[in-house]
Homo-oligomer: A and B are copies of this chain.
Amino acid sequence: MNTTEYKVTGMTCGHCEMSVREEVSQIAGVEDIQVSAQSGTLVVTTTETLDDAEVLAAVGEAGYSAVRA
């Protein structure tokens, strides 16, 4: 298992968290997603090595921006 943390800016509520979760969950190999609007964090657990670019793109699709923490 690999766990990778990102800082996400722009999320304000549970709907925002849900939007990010939906997009990130579509990445192959994702086993768990923890996302918090309050702390602006996204923690992705994967079975294999995670491609940061895919995560940043998924967060962008949801309408927010992320950087590797």
Contact = CB atoms under 8 A, between A and B. Distances in A.
Interface in A35-65: none
A61 to B, nearest CB: 15
Q: Number of copies of this chain in the oligomer?
A: 2
Interface residues of A, number: 5
Nearest to A63: B14
Nearest to A18: B15
Contacts of A13: 12-13, 15-16
Interface in A1-54: 12-13, 15-16, 19
Contacts of A19: 15
Nearest to A15: B15
A12 B13 CA distance: 7
